[in-house]
Structure 1
Amino acid sequence: MRAAWLLLAVAAALYCAVRFAGPTPLQTNLLALLPATEADPVAEEAVDQLAGALGNRAVLLVSSDDAAHAKAAAEQLGAALTASRAFASVTARVPPFDLGRITRFYSPYRFGLLTAEDRASVAGGAEALRGALAERLYGLPAAGLATSLSEDPFGWLQHWLAGLPLAASNLTVEDGLLVSHHGSTTSVLVVGTLPASAYDADVQRSVLLAVARGETALKVTWPDVTVARTGAVFYAEAARRASERDVHVIGIVTSVGIALLMLWIFRSPRLIFLGFLSTALGILFALAITMFVFGKLHLLTLVFGASLIGEAVDYSIQYFVVYLGARHNWDSQRGAREVLPALTVALSTSLLGYAILAFAPFSALRQIACFAIVGIFTAFASVIGLLPGLMTQPPRSSPRTLFAVAASSLKRWHALIGGRRAWGVALVLVIVAVPGWLQLRSDDDIHLLIQRDPALVAQERQVSGAVGVENSAQFFVVRGATPEMVLERAEALCERIGALTGASAVSGWQSVTSFVPSARQQRADHALLDAHVFDDPSALRAMLGAAGFRDEVAQAWPAAYASSGTSVLRVEDWLAEPWSQPFRHLWLGRSASTPGAFVAVVIPQGVTLANEPALLGVAQALPGVSFVDKAASVSRLFGVYRHDGAIWLAVALTLVFALLMVRYGWREAIAVMMPVWLAIGVTLGVFGYLHVAINLFHLLALMLVLGVGANYAVFLREGAMRSASDHGAVWTGVLLSATTTLLSFGMLGMSSMPALKSFGATLSLGIMVSVMLAPIGIPSIQRRKA
């Protein structure tokens, strides 16, 4: 048996070592915590692709009240980041670019590219055309992209190019740098492209090191310069660092605390070693199995796993209690058989609580469930199958005085709350808790559960304010069977958005149709010109000649129109242009989740609580269009599952009660379950009095209160049923088990993750109440001794 355990432990340790030696298996992506919220898989795919497209950039803003200092510092920082090789590319100085390339790209398609104003002008007849021609010839020169008079005599292409959202920000190019001015402050943008995923730990470390060194060097040369940063890599690194700190603090404090408690109670370093051996096997096996099943290990799982130490050690503590209580009559196998019923019932209730987590819609919670189930089952199996072979000798000493004091306190406490008085205690607690229940409220906002680093949030706002473009989390997903259908639907959507007025209006939007109109629109514009401009070639030549155009121009321009009849701009042509790179995320292309579907996104600017209902209504009125607000969708889903969680909890209570009825009968099962029922009720009442907003994670934690808290009443009940058992030893073991569990789960309240704080607070309070009421579940001590 020992050899088998050793072989399994070595195999698990080697597997974990191999996984951690290669690419890190740790998952730091906060989005991995969130469930799929969109009924349409295309919309969910768009969420992932858009997050990936925008998440591989690190943006740094170098600012100073001295413009020369800001520009010089930005160039120095860009050179330092490039030299660090932490980035695939770094852009500080904008490479020279011929703006005429954009004009030349669109020129072959110019007869199908009209603005709404020019469409009205063209349809207005000859007088409107002469006015447009005169304005083109004698008006002020247009800023931005210009076209030649010979190729664009009426300025239609120039007007259309002016509407391209190429400069939809506060940034301007000065001295080859992207510069923003706000008051007396000058800010320069430096953008780095990551070589791999922002959630890769190696990428995070190299990027943070490079940026830190670059900032340190800037402070030496330019003390007045400040650097603000934003990007998924910085948020992911902050989350990873905080989680690793949680793992270390929780793991170390829990382990040291449990070791000191066990040393004080058992006075035996050997028992401490064996207790931690059983727990270590559980954690090791849980790590290996979870990584094998899920491929990745989320940091949330690792932090929760560190707190599992306190629960996993409970099984060995119960065995040690029997060991010390037997004294010189110790038989390791008989001891295992005596403790087996209690541990089996306790294991069953705990597994039931964690199994419900496995059905939660969040991958991280399913990971936690897998980790916990494997961990506590391994701890249970090692106590029954391994420890008896390592504890064959009777104990040299036993804490008899401590056990006697515990037995006396249990007797007095049971006299106060046990027997028939239990119903009075329950009634009093319910009466006290009812006002708290009436004050309960809920808040399912996802932002309360996934908290971002406040310093990084402030820097992100600084960068967004300087650039002038918000990082909107709301967008439209447009899908269709063909690229043309997607473009047509996107045009209809943009028309509806542009028609919104008042509080429903937005400040603008980004769409691929701003760069590539649909073929239908291009053909319609071409047909409009054919009907009103090129329908009478002689009159057109006369109009151009009267305006002063040479004969060759007056003939060449209509000839160019005649040869452009089938020229249609396609998305593929635009994507092939290097200057389209900053806007390519607007076109997602062929869907991977839904065969035969093509997808684009339209990103509105200035989304508020006032105009979001109008945007949602626009999406619902158009086929193939959906409005995505990931945070709001998750919050709504949290609310749905919070309601369902109450049903899950009721089902779990029923199943555990049925399990205990099989073991004890219905009367005694009520007594054993009463501490858990009251613990859940008191916990909810306290939350009501303290005005703690209830969320899904509180309810999931209550299920663990059921699974873990029921163990203490079971341990006491089973101890009372064993012949010649020492009540003091049993009560000592229960209190020690509860203390170790409180220590570990209570440490979750210090976690940087709000979701784990909810877990920790609920578990700590629920377990505290359940262990104090656990004596209700045992029969009268006096009657048993009689």
Structure 2
Amino acid sequence: MTPSQSPGPGRDSRRRLVLALSWLALLLLAAWWIAPRLQLSGDLRKFMPSAQTPAQKLLIDELGEGPGSRLLLLALSGADAETLATQSTALREALAADTRFVLVANGGEAGLEAIPDRLRPYRYLLSSTLDTESFDADYLGAQLDARVQDLGSPVAALIEPLLPADPTLETLVLAESWQPETAPQRLHGVWFDAAGERALLAVQTHAAGFDPTGQQQAVAAIETAFANARGDSSSALTMTGPGVFSVEVGGRTAREAGRIGTLDSVLFALLLALAYRSWKAPLLGALPLASGGLAGLAAVALGFDGVHGITVAFGFTLIGVAQDYPIHLFSHQRPGLSPWASARALWPTLGTGVLATCIAYLTFMLSGVDGLRQLAVFTIAGLGTAALATRFLLPGLIDPAPRDVADLPWLARAWSRLARWPRLGVAGGLAIAALAIAVATFAPKPFWQNDLSKLTPVPADALAEDARLRHELGAPDVRYLITLHGSDTQAVLRASEQLLPALRELRAKGAVAGFDLAARYLPSAATQRARQAGLPDAGALRASLETAVAASPFRADVFAPFLADVEAARTAAPLTADDLAGTALATRVDGLLLRDDRRATALVALSGLADPAAVAAVATHHGAQLLDLKQASESLVAEYRVRLLWALALAALLLLAVVWASLRVPRRVLRVLAPMALTTLLVLAVLRAVGVELNLFHLVALILAAGLGLDYALFFDHAGDDRDSQLRALHAIIVCSAITLLVFALLATSSIPVLRAIGSTVALGVLGNFVLALLIVRRPALHAVNASP
């Protein structure tokens, strides 16, 4: 609408107010619609590429669902040993009754609960006793003599209820054999550390390691149960494990995100208000940004089953680029030119930058990583919506008669000083590029960071405490596993049994301190049938028992349940993994026995691995494989990076095509792209020079910085050689870069390595792109007329 057609000032103000309120109401309605459809996920495997090798597949499965990811280690300290033992027992009983936990161990449990009553007869098939003994009169007589001694000892209360059905105490033999091989010492009936100062417990949760909500609930339940068990004592609880770290990191990330987000919002509002001397500018500038954010969330919610928390957090950081769009519109306003006309004039330049940035993120769709695809959809939808809102909605809210920023005295003085800066020619650009490449290439530290553990924000002392507790409890090594593959469960159980003697020999030689495998709890069907063959029939067993009872103080009729159990075991079908469903034993077996429709894999968890080479050789000899999950994770990261680099190469070609289609003049195209390319090289050189090893998040941040740099160069190019247009472009770019620099400088102070990598990279990129755009793209001003942009 031209000025001659515009309504009166009062009516125009009312119209703008109605439009603003309508826009805000639409945003609130969109938020109301999106909220129930937004299913947040915390599974970091969504940001991992598809596994290409068995080791990588196992790594991803174990990270999310494996028993190691569900294990929490507890230590009680600060009181005398007897008090701590009492509290440990109370804590175990409380947690064992909580459905959020599948296993709670403190050394005081009898192990009887691992076998429900319906499976008790199978003890004769699971125990190794029948491998070396026979249920004849001599063996049963010796066992009854031992029971007489037991009934006169302090363990009589435990033994007496078991005797009618289990005079040979196979249940206790099994419970003892299922104890950890490197279990800690026991004091007052529960586990303690070597110094006898801390009572220890191991807890396994139902919630997977990458279920932050479930892990948070489990941690809270443990804390509540401990508070009840502690009473008025001075004891303290220490917890470690992936779930604890997940909760701690999630809480710290939320706190830092809240702090940084609040500061960002305040700085955004203050800088816009200061730059345009108007309280309306921050409010109007926030509307396209909010529109973009909601559009991104809606797109991901509609296109994916769940929205990852990283997508939301990182996505809002990425569409922070959209804050530049209204700033360019504000800075290019001047009296005599309607906001609509200004938006139309800016749109080709603004649209080119938006399209180029969206194309860069579109390549993430080719990454094969669900999390990056979410991020691409979020960013593209967000940036596109924010740009369209700036073009087609925001002009209707802007005062049609603003003051011209080209008249600001400080801006004129700044431009006069900047005009004295030398322009960077081709030779200078090539020299900078060569120097940056040399620094980045020959810096002493490794170029790429492949160790995922170095990205963890968990404090070093917490990791050290976790290592100490794992050592005290004899928890399995989280790095090494032996794997045995077969066509089905029985095949891998048989292979595990054949490996057992070699594992025991390795333990005796000190190559490994301990091991755990599914066959320890569930023998193969072949082994169970062999043990069945060793059980006497009902008549023979009754005769042997009568002979043994005759020489003891027991009555023969007391052991009728024993006769029934042996006969049930002799005629039963072998026990399978499916039969264990719903039992505590299933938890142990399922963590060491992976099954699908095509194959089965048995895992051997190792503890105290001292000689990987010797263990690997033994594993290979038996058709097994020693997996180094650290090596698997590093190879996964390397393959991920190669795929992403190819995607970025494609993005660079598409970006070049977009800029070429927009400018169509080779000199202009090179001038616009040069600052972005040189800045990318300089940022890499600076990071490498200070010893930073690059990771995935540095690459993603470089894309963001490149998108910002392209915008700066495009708008300096758009200004041409008109002084007033140059001043307006400079004002917009100063405001944009100042806000972006402050936002990402705050991220660079974060204690979260990922946020710190993004913040430092983008902050360096903003500085480099701003300076190089001035040195390369700006043109000398020829005149100072008030021409349209």
Tell me the CA shift for residue 55 of structure 1. Answer: 5.1
Structure 2: which amino acid aligns with 1:264? Answer: L
- Is 1:50–1:585's contact at 8 Å kept on the other side of the alignment? no
274-283 vs 689-698, greater mean Cα deviation: 689-698
Partner of 1:294: 304
> Cα RMSD (Å) of the superposition?
5.1
Secondary structure of residue in 1 paired with 2:420:
helix
Q: 1:755 to 1:17 in 2, by over 3 A?
A: same
- Is 2:209–2:215's contact at 8 Å kept on the other side of the alignment? yes
- Is 1:481–1:597's contact at 8 Å kept on the other side of the alignment? yes
- Is 1:78–1:90's contact at 8 Å kept on the other side of the alignment? yes
- Is 1:308–1:745's contact at 8 Å kept on the other side of the alignment? no
181-190 vs 573-582, greater mean Cα deviation: 573-582
Secondary structure of residue in 2 paired with 1:179:
strand
Counterpart CA distance in 2 for 1:573 and 1:341 is 65
Counterpart CA distance in 1 for 2:729 and 2:586 is 69
Query: Deviation per CA, 1:351-408, whole angstroms, max 9, x where unpaired?
Result: 1232233433544333333322222211111111111222262214645324423432
Structure 2: which amino acid aligns with 1:9? Answer: L
Partner of 2:75: 61
Partner of 2:694: 694
Q: 1:389 to 1:319 in 2, by over 3 A?
A: same
Partner of 1:280: 290
Partner of 2:12: none
Query: Deviation per CA, 1:31-89, whole angstroms, max 9, x where unpaired?
Result: 55434435359954982597365655655322346122213444565688799999799
Q: 1:425 to 1:163 in 2, by over 3 A?
A: same
Counterpart CA distance in 1 for 2:566 and 2:251 is 62
Partner of 1:166: 179
Secondary structure of residue in 2 paired with 1:677:
helix
Match of 2:475 among 445, 469, 474: 469
Partner of 1:261: 271
Q: Give matches, 1:67-106, under 5 Å.
A: 67-74=81-88
Q: Give matches, 1:445-464, under 5 Å.
A: 445-454=451-460, 456-464=462-470
- Is 1:109–1:568's contact at 8 Å kept on the other side of the alignment? no
Partner of 1:187: 199
Query: Deviation per CA, 1:456-515, whole angstroms, max 9, x where unpaired?
Result: 434433433443323635434545443322312332444554455899932222112113
Counterpart CA distance in 2 for 1:705 and 1:654 is 17
Secondary structure of residue in 2 paired with 1:221:
coil
567-576 vs 277-286, greater mean Cα deviation: 567-576
Name the % identity: 24
Aligned residues: 743
- Is 1:405–1:728's contact at 8 Å kept on the other side of the alignment? no
Tell me the CA shift for residue 345 of structure 1. Answer: 1.2
Match of 2:574 among 569, 575, 583: 569
Tell me the CA shift for residue 770 of structure 1. Answer: 1.5
Structure 1: which amino acid aligns with 2:677? Answer: W
Structure 1: which amino acid aligns with 2:590? Answer: H
Partner of 1:125: none
Residues 1:222 and 2:233 aligned together = yes
- Is 1:479–1:599's contact at 8 Å kept on the other side of the alignment? yes
Secondary structure of residue in 2 paired with 1:509:
strand
Residues 1:13 and 2:23 aligned together = no
Query: Deviation per CA, 1:703-730, whole angstroms, max 9, x where unpaired?
Result: 3332222221111112228x78521111
Residues 1:37 and 2:41 aligned together = no
- Is 2:182–2:514's contact at 8 Å kept on the other side of the alignment? no
Match of 1:304 among 286, 307, 314: 314
Match of 1:235 among 241, 245, 251: 245
Q: 1:507 to 1:32 in 2, by over 3 A?
A: farther
Counterpart CA distance in 2 for 1:430 and 1:646 is 21
Residues 1:584 and 2:586 aligned together = no
Partner of 1:761: 760
TM-score (norm 1): 0.79
Q: 1:627 to 1:356 in 2, by over 3 A?
A: farther
Q: 1:297 to 1:107 in 2, by over 3 A?
A: closer
Tell me the CA shift for residue 221 of structure 1. Answer: 2.0
TM-score (norm 2): 0.78
- Is 2:102–2:587's contact at 8 Å kept on the other side of the alignment? no
Tell me the CA shift for residue 341 of structure 1. Answer: 1.1
Q: 1:340 to 1:71 in 2, by over 3 A?
A: same
Tell me the CA shift for residue 151 of structure 1. Answer: 12
- Is 2:364–2:644's contact at 8 Å kept on the other side of the alignment? no
Query: Deviation per CA, 1:406-430, whole angstroms, max 9, x where unpaired?
Result: 43234223xx024xx3532441453
Secondary structure of residue in 2 paired with 1:375:
helix
Residues 1:178 and 2:190 aligned together = yes
Secondary structure of residue in 2 paired with 1:469:
coil
Q: 1:347 to 1:309 in 2, by over 3 A?
A: closer
Q: 1:768 to 1:55 in 2, by over 3 A?
A: same
363-372 vs 196-205, greater mean Cα deviation: 196-205
Unpaired runs of 5+ in structure 2? Answer: 1-18
Secondary structure of residue in 1 paired with 2:362:
helix
Q: 1:159 to 1:260 in 2, by over 3 A?
A: closer
- Is 2:68–2:478's contact at 8 Å kept on the other side of the alignment? no
- Is 2:365–2:376's contact at 8 Å kept on the other side of the alignment? yes
Structure 1: which amino acid aligns with 2:656? Answer: F
Partner of 1:126: none
Counterpart CA distance in 1 for 2:211 and 2:430 is 52
Partner of 1:384: 391
- Is 1:671–1:776's contact at 8 Å kept on the other side of the alignment? no
Residues 1:506 and 2:512 aligned together = yes
Q: 1:228 to 1:488 in 2, by over 3 A?
A: same
Query: Deviation per CA, 1:107-165, whole angstroms, max 9, x where unpaired?
Result: 7785896589x67x99xxxxxx9999999999999999999999999x99899859833
Tell me the CA shift for residue 453 of structure 1. Answer: 4.5
183-192 vs 199-208, greater mean Cα deviation: 199-208
Secondary structure of residue in 2 paired with 1:263:
helix
Residues 1:748 and 2:750 aligned together = no
Q: Give matches, 1:396-475, under 5 Å.
A: 396=403, 398=405, 399-413=407-421, 416-418=422-424, 421-428=425-432, 430-431=434-435, 434-439=438-443, 441=446, 442-454=448-460, 456-470=462-476, 472-475=478-481
Tell me the CA shift for residue 570 of structure 1. Answer: 2.0
Match of 2:335 among 328, 341, 356: 328
Secondary structure of residue in 1 paired with 2:237:
strand
